[in-house]
Structure 1
Amino acid sequence: MAAVVCENCGTSNPAGRQFCENCDGFLDWSGVPEAGPVAAAPAPVAPVAPQQQARPQQAPPPPSAPGPATFTPPYRPAAPPPGPTAAPPPHLGPPHLGPPHLGPPHPGATFAPVAMPPMSTAPLQRTCSNCGTASDPHRRFCRRCGTWLVTPTLVAPAPPDRLGKRLRRRWWGGTSGAYSGDLTRGTVAFRILSVVLVLALVTGVLTLAGWHPIRRVTDLVGHVTGSGRVERVTAQALPADALPGYPAAWGVDDVRGRGFATRWTSGSSGDPRTACAGATSATASSLLLTLPQPTNVREIGIEAGLPAGDPQLAARWRPQTLELRWNNGKCQVVQLAKDPGLQRFAVEQGTVSQVTVVVVAGYPPDGQGSDRLDIGEITFWQR
């Protein structure tokens, strides 16, 4: 049998030995049969195997024949010079613990290092670029100053809901967001009852103060729409037929372009500041108007003077201050503008059936005009 050469120290060992005589290396792993003068081919490069733990030294077999004992120092190769300390591979553990203990592999097996899973480089915390505060990695805003910690995603805003949908969601159905839910029936009923009670309380307080909100609203609607006009009103001049040819009935016939006319006398001129202060003068120019039935009058409309565009408009007297003496004993002062159009005034006298319109003061004509005073038309509206 051929001798076995130790690949560790190069010593030739007799056939059948398991350990090198010189370095005690295991020959079954590293030894190769000794060839003749032919040089052995270089062994293929194999993966670097971790240093195996040396087996305990065994005593060499006794010599076959006794002889004189001679001491031969064993051959050991010179140690290489120390080089820079390299960090151990990550799979071999920390350097102070040394390589892990690996048992002898099966004869003929090769060593393949096991790849470790890649280490995560994600930060354990998110640092704010504004104030430098560290926040949890799942936060999107800084816990101190509220700055974005991540790049926000731009989302196009949804179109706004229609007004009807917003009102239904606000008062009846609630919302379906993350922090709100549908309103219960009790909540809806409580809101409606609260609104009704508040409106009733406000209406009562205003009514006691003399301001009727419901009546004001209905009067405003009637004023805009022109509803509630009173028909078949009769008129009588006081004194009667002060100016023949212009009867008092023309002041309430709803015919544009003509009206009631009387003479402006000295007795008709009065002080507007003392209107409704005393009794009516016997010589005052006035009209007695009678309604077809007792009526709750809402408004009275008066056209002062001739209609617009009449060439005699500037040459006639026009009423300025009027007294409205109602049959219930109340008196109301009306100030007319120097305007030929219809002028409307609110009435708060309750149910009445007659009113006396007294001319207290008037607008004089331009230059040397006539002593005639004109009232175009008088109209009533009821509630």
Structure 2
Amino acid sequence: MIRCTKCQTINPPDAILCSNCQSLLEWTGVPVEAAESAAKTVSDEAADDAAAAEAARAAEEARLAEEARAAEEAEEARRAAEAQAAEEARAAAEAKAAEDARLAEEAEKARIAEEAKAAEEARAAQEARAAEEAEQARLAAEEAQAAEEARLAEEAEQARLEAEVKAAEDARLAAAARAAEEARLAAEAKAAEEARLAEEARLAAEAKAAEEARAAEEARAAARRREAEAILATSVDGDETAEPTADDDTQPGLVRPGLRSSEPGPRRPSSAEVDADDQPEARKPTFESRPKPKPIEEPEPEPEPEDEVPEGSIRCAVCGTANEPTRNFCRRCGKPLVAAVVPVVKPMPWYRRLFGSPPKTKLKAGERPGGLGDGGQPRPSLFGRLVPLLLIAVVAFGVTSLVIMPDARAAIGDLITDLRLRFMPQFEDVHPVGAQGAGVEGNRGRFAVDNNTNTFWLAETGSSDPTLTVDIGATINLGALVVHSGSSTESDFTAHRRPKTLELTFPGTEQPAIEVVLADDAEPQPIALDVRQIDSVVITVVDWFESGAGGDRLLAIREIEFKERR
């Protein structure tokens, strides 16, 4: 078998041209395995074998006769085919070479055209880049000039905004102070009303107590009168037994209270001995009412100093007055001291003297426990006695903490700083280092924080809310924002949508989100804040004002200024 060197088709050993590509078969010296050729011709030989087996015997003799002639004809045909194949191969090679040359020429032309086109495009790109650089330089010059003009205007504007923010803060503090003052006045009015009611109740109680005291005094006076009448009656009975003479110089002895004297006293004249002319006339009935007797105010005796009484004195069991041990009756109330004992006072412990209740004293008529003491001053309570001690303890603890515990000093410093930032802040401008936010027509989010109100951020308001992530570049205490709505302050202010409600979040912190409501105004709008220790802010526009007639559905913000609280 012979394998074609071009298409690798297997041909019979006596073939001159390839049965597939009609190329001239050349012997390569590598025999083809029968098994390999059998796989190609097995289907054809299977049909011929059956017929050949029958005709083989008959055709064997004819084949042998024709073999020599066929071999000679085959050799001649092979030589002719080889010559023809060689001619065809040469012609094909020449045609292929011509085709390759044509293709190479076309490729060269295409390469030259491509290089020319690339050079033209490069030249056009260079010219466009040069024009863009020139345009950028012109715009930069215009922006620089506009920025300089805007800076001069912004300085005055910032001063005005700081004054507005400070005025707003002062107004807030004034409102808080006014509310506190109103609450204090209301509390004072309530306390005054309660004090008035308490005073009325006290006066009523004092009047009632005075009435009770007057009634008690009248009862005591009546009792004293009854006692005097009883004593007088006793003395009258004694007069019946003996009557002293006028010239008797003897003095009656001292009579111990409670015992009847053995000597007769003055006799009360009987009604029979009184002359009728000396009798008072009978009182006639009248419409005039008898005036009520006024209570007799007996002055209280001044207490004698305790140091005038010697040691071992006897105290009265009734009034508690100290008396000399030689006395039998109290020097104040006159009650007998027979049952009196010398009290043994145990010294009170120090903690009871410090924290215990004051000794109980007898209250006068109209007084109440816990009321005003002598001189109209309130009696000191336990809390009143503890306040000075608590103040001393707090001061001592503060001084000791500052000396011994440095952390306490830092905590106090932080507290002072927090109070200063809250009530006496100073606001300074902060310029963020960058901002990210999807923009339209080249108006990206960074234009909202570029410190230039001639540029603006233009965002879509479609499926999601416009969001601007601002990188402040340092950790600050954010004190205020100043929002410039819209793309311009001119008549085209309503050409785009303007923000109405902003939601402020602070990544990386536990600060809660803050919602801010703006007005539909082209003027700067300050927003007072107090957010501590942040380095970035996410501003989400959750609601907006619709654009005017002929406007679009895009949202515009000229500038957002940041103020640091220091």
* Shared fold per TM-score greater than 0.5: no
Q: TM-score, normalised by structure 2?
A: 0.25
Q: Which has the higher strand share?
A: 1
- TM-score of the pair, normalised by structure 1: 0.37
| Bigger radius of gyration | 2
Q: Which has the higher contact order (CA 8 A, sep 6+)?
A: 1
Structure whose residues are more often helix by fraction: 2
